[in-house]
């Protein structure tokens, strides 16, 4: 049917509020599985967030956001409950508020590999954030306030107001939220590998499709290899793979310029902040995910450490970048993987698409004059992803 058909069909018929969403003509269902986050002690408390909390905009302290601690995640399964003993976890991009654009992605991966596909939400994203953070009128007020405070701010919109305010006021949230997601995924992977998952049987291998910031999280997971559960895992990275300091996340859909500049400055001068934040120092310096996080945040910091580990993982990875991607351009990804020699060209592929696209909207569903081009580009990219993840 193609991406265009699949996007609108699932956007109309998929609901997070019901346990099973059946698509009988295609032979699969999407089941929403409850999950409770196992570790929340790294999240900023009310005392730490007190100076950043915007009560009028419902920007609660991190450890008080109930939606972030108990939520559901979608799983694509075939109706026969048979097939592969492998599974794919799909990790999304920064500041996503729904699953709409990812449903055709998961469907394609599931149909081509016959592996179940799990769409797992990053901390404070998709259905792990309060509805108020998605309220256009409420967030337009916050965006207006941000523009009044900073006359030079760029790309401040209701779409990115909540995440921009939260990250600018307390940049360490970028790490603590990522660390919570890391432990969530460690718990999920443990369920899958041990046979204790509430829906799926025991899986011998857990694979990943990481897009944008989800690619960064995937890299850190594979580098850390918690409990040696990912030694055979494969990962396809799409529009991602660069170290954070080589990204340009200023976008009306992602972060405004004030938030991104603050975030990048904070993490590229991280040592200056660690001396005054004992908890952050402990989380980053004494734990594997923290060490690998640092190696992927600053291209110069722990660079040799990153190169060595990425070299070890190169055979497990496949990366597709897009020529006109302004957020994570191909050169940024290639520079992050410098040191692989002739293997770099094989690892990192660069594509261009015959229509107007962006990092945030690779497959525009409403581009009527280029619908066939979009469908063909989608099929080509996801055929490569599926082939690698078999």
pLDDT at 55: 60
CA distances from 106 to 113, 116, 128, 302, 357 (A): 11, 9, 19, 34, 20
Please write the tens of the pLDDT for every residue from 108-123.
Answer: 999 999 999 999 999 9
DSSP codes, 59-115: B--GGG-HHHHEEEEEEEEETT--S-SEEEEEE--TT---SGGGHHHHHHHHHHH--
For residue 348, what is the domain's CATH number? 3.40.50.1820
| 147 part of a folded domain | no
> What are the DSSP calls for 238-290, one per residue?
ES--S-GGG---B-TTSB-HHHHHHHHHHHHTHHHHHTT-HHHHHHHHSSHHH
Taking only the tens place, the pLDDT of each residue in 286-311 is: 566 888 888 888 766 677 778 888 88
- Hey, what are 213's tokens? 């910031």
What is the rounded distance in angstroms from the CA atom of residue 223 to the CA atom of residue 230? 9
pLDDT (0 to 100) of residue 179: 93
Q: Is the pLDDT of residue 335 over 80?
A: yes
Model pLDDT, residue 108: 98
For the cut 70, the answer to whether the pLDDT of residue 46 exceeds it is yes
Share of the chain above pLDDT 90, in %: 75
Phi-psi region of 225 (alpha: psi -120 to 50; beta: other; left: phi over 0): left
261: burial class by Cβ within 10 Å (0-12, 13-18, 19+)?
Answer: middle
- The pLDDT value recorded for residue 280 is 74
Q: What is the pLDDT of residue 166?
A: 93
- Look at residue 174 and tell me if it is in a domain: yes
pLDDT at residue 333, as a whole number: 94
- pLDDT of amino acid 337: 86
What per-residue confidence (pLDDT) applies to 246? 92
Summary mean pLDDT of the chain:
91
- pLDDT of residue 223 exceeding 60: yes
Percent of the chain with pLDDT over 70: 94
Instruction: Please state the rounded mean pLDDT for residues 320-336.
Output: 95
Q: Which of 313, 305, 243, 302 is nearest to 271 (CA)?
A: 302
Q: Do 69 and 36 meet the contact criterion of CB atoms below 8 Å apart?
A: yes
Task: For residue 149, count CB atoms less than 10 angstroms from its CB and return exposed for 0-12, middle for 13-18, buried for 19 or more.
Answer: exposed
Find all residues with CB under 8 Å of 279, minimum gap 6, and list them.
Answer: 42
Q: Is 25 left (phi over 0), alpha (psi -120 to 50) or beta?
A: alpha
Instruction: Answer yes or no: are the C-beta atoms of 171 and 260 closer than 8 Å.
Output: no
> Who has greater pLDDT, 345 or 312?
312
Mean pLDDT of 178-189: 97
User: Is residue 89 in a domain?
Assistant: yes
What is the number of other CB atoms lying within 10 angstroms of the CB of residue 181? 24
Q: What pLDDT is recorded for position 52?
A: 54
**Average pLDDT for residues 247-259, to the nearest whole number?**
96
What does the pLDDT read at residue 82? Answer: 63
* Beta-bridge partners for 93: none
Please indicate whether residue 77 or residue 297 has the higher confidence score (pLDDT). 77
* pLDDT over 80 (residue 80): no
The DSSP code for 230 is: T
Confidence check: pLDDT of 340 > 70: no
Of 39-53, 122-136, 139-153, the poorest mean pLDDT is in 39-53
Residue 182 counted as domain residue: yes
Give the count of domains, the chain: 1
- The domain in which residue 195 lies consists of 3-48+61-125+170-247+303-389
Better-predicted residue by pLDDT, 97 or 303: 97
Q: Which is more confident, 386 or 266? A: 386
Q: What is the average pLDDT across 255-269?
A: 93
Angle at 213 between CA 231 and CA 201, to 5 degrees: 45
Neighbouring-strand partners of residue 90: 119, 209
Mean pLDDT, residues 360-388: 95
Residue 313 falls inside a structural domain: yes
Q: Which region holds residue 207: left if phi is over 0, alpha if psi is between -120 and 50, else beta? A: beta
pLDDT of residue 292: 87
Classify residue 372: in a domain, yes or no.
yes
Compute and round to an integer the Cα radius of gyration of the chain: 20
Task: Say if 336 falls within a structural domain.
Answer: yes
Instruction: Band the pLDDT of 240: cuts 50, 70, 90.
Output: very high
- Mean pLDDT throughout 260-267? 93
Q: Minimal CA–CA distance to 210: which of 385, 338, 53, 327?
A: 385
By mean pLDDT, which of 215-219, 337-341, 346-350 is the weakest? 337-341
Residue 53 has pLDDT above 80, yes or no: no
Kindly state whether residue 237 falls inside one of the protein's structural domains.
yes
Alpha-carbon distance 371 to 354, whole Å?
11
Lateral strand order in the sheet of 235-238: 20-23, 28-36, 70-78, 117-120, 86-91, 205-211, 235-238, 317-322, 348-351
More confident residue, 276 or 158: 158
């Amino acid at each position: 049917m193609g991406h265009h058909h699949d996007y609108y069909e699932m956007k109309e018929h998929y609901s997070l509020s019901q346990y099973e969403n059946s698509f009988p003509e295609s032979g699969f269902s999407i089941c929403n599985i409850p999950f409770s986050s196992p570790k929340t002690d790294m999240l900023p408390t009310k005392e730490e967030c007190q100076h950043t909390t915007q009560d009028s905009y419902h920007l609660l302290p991190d450890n008080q956001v109930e939606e972030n601690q108990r939520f559901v995640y979608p799983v694509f399964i075939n109706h026969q409950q048979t097939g592969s003993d492998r599974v794919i976890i799909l990790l999304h991009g920064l500041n996503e508020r729904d699953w709409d654009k990812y449903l055709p992605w998961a469907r394609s991966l599931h149909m081509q590999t016959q592996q179940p596909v799990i769409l797992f939400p990053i901390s404070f994203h998709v259905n792990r954030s309060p509805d108020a953070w998605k309220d256009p009128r409420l967030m337009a007020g916050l965006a207006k306030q941000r523009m009044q405070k900073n006359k030079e701010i760029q790309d401040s919109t209701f779409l990115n107001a909540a995440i921009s305010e939260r990250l600018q006021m307390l940049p360490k949230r970028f790490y603590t939220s990522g660390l919570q997601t890391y432990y969530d995924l460690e718990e999920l992977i443990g369920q899958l590998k041990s046979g204790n998952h509430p829906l799926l049987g025991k899986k011998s291998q857990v694979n990943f499709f990481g897009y944008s910031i989800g690619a960064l999280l995937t890299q850190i997971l594979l580098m850390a290899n918690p409990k040696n559960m990912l030694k055979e895992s494969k990962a396809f990275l799409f529009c991602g793979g660069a170290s954070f300091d080589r990204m340009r996340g200023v976008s009306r859909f992602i972060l405004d310029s004030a938030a991104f500049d603050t975030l990048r400055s904070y993490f590229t001068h991280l040592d200056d902040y660690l001396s005054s934040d004992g908890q952050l120092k402990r989380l980053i310096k004494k734990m594997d995910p923290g060490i690998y996080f640092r190696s992927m945040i600053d291209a110069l910091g722990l660079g040799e450490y990153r190169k060595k580990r990425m070299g070890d993982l190169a055979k497990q990875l496949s990366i597709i970048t897009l020529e006109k991607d302004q957020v994570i351009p191909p050169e940024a990804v290639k520079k992050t993987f410098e040191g692989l020699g002739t293997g770099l060209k094989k690892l990192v592929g660069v594509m261009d698409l015959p229509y107007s696209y962006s990092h945030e909207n690779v497959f525009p569903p409403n581009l009527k004059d280029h619908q066939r081009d979009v469908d063909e580009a989608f099929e080509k990219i996801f055929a490569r992803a599926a082939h690698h993840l078999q």
